Amino acid sequence: MSGFSQFMIYALTLVFSENILFSRGLGSDVLLRTALNPRQFTKMGLLLTAYTVISSVIGWAEDLGMNALGIGIGSDMLLGRALIYLLCLTLLYLLSDGVLKVYFPHFFADVAEVLPFSIFNTAVLGAPVLTARMNTTLLSGFSGGGFLAAVLVGLAVGIGFMLAVLLMAEGIRQIESMDLPAAFSGLPARLLYVGLLAMAFSAFSGRQTGI
């Protein structure tokens, strides 16, 4: 099997069977809270996909630098790398906020509510950490080069999250028109819905034990 086919299968796995929300819960806290306003879903999903791609590229650049310095990937290094990703994301957030506010004020007014949580969430930070941990050989072996691979991984994670967002949006629309017991309305119903979807997605991956 060619490197490209192998990579596309990996990307599809990230979208469906290893969807970061349903298999690892990454991004669930933001999604459950944003679920309060389903109109924000699309904006947030698109922004998050963009930032996941950027975050993966940052992760790739950092891995390149650290590999050049001969620093390996142990648990302590994983934490160090994650904290460096985090600082980069903070700078990216401040930059995005400043640039959008000054040069694209209308767009900024549209996305101001969801911008902070599109960057500072566990999906955007978790994607490059997860990729660095699971998949360094696949990235380096990809014929298009590590950079392109990082972009595609970021895109796959983002699209997987978008899929989760769309499923949530539809589910919440249905849930809100149901006559549920008072104790289950709102957050508990959403958690149940995510749980049932996660159960279905875990059947895709065929996994039976641990995250």
Partner 1 sequence: MPKSENRPGRQSGYRRRVHSTLVDLVVRQQGRSEENSLRGVARTANIRDTLEEYYPKQGAKNPAQAFADGIFGNNPVLFNALGVVLIVGSASTVKNASLVALVAGLLMVICEFCASLIYKRLPPALRLACYVVTSAAVLYLLSLFLFDNYSAEVSAVGIYFPLICVTGLVTMRAESYAIHNTPLCAVADALGGALGFGAVIIFVGALRELLTLGTVGGLRLGVTHFFPSANLAFFTFLILAVFCAGARQAIAVYRRAKRRHEEEDKEDDR
- Point out which residues bind partner 1 (CB under 8 A): 22-30, 32-33, 36, 75-76, 78-80, 82-83, 86-87, 89-90, 93-94, 97-98, 116, 120-122, 125-126, 129-130, 133, 176-192, 194-196, 198-199, 202, 207-211
Q: Smallest gap, in angstroms, from Cβ of residue 121 to partner 1?
A: 6
In 10 A of CB 15, how many CB atoms? 19
d(CA 87, CA 110): 26
Closer Cβ to partner 1, 18 or 159, answer by number = 18
Nearer to partner 1, 38 or 148 (CB): 38
Smaller CB separation from partner 1, 109 or 180? 180
Q: Min. distance of Cβ 1 from partner 1 in angstroms?
A: 28
Q: Is the dihedral of CA 124, 63, 8, 206 positive or negative?
A: negative
Q: Which two tokens stand for residue 154?
A: 């970021």
Integer CA distances (angstroms), 126 to 42, 158, 178, in order: 21, 12, 34
Q: Which of 162, 197, 207, 160 is nearest to 10 (CA)?
A: 160
Q: Which is nearer to partner 1, 155 or 190 (CB)?
A: 190
Find the shortest distance in angstroms from Cβ 63 to partner 1: 15
Q: Name the nearest CA neighbour of 186 among 196, 176, 177.
A: 176
Shortest distance (Å) from residue 143 CB to partner 1: 28
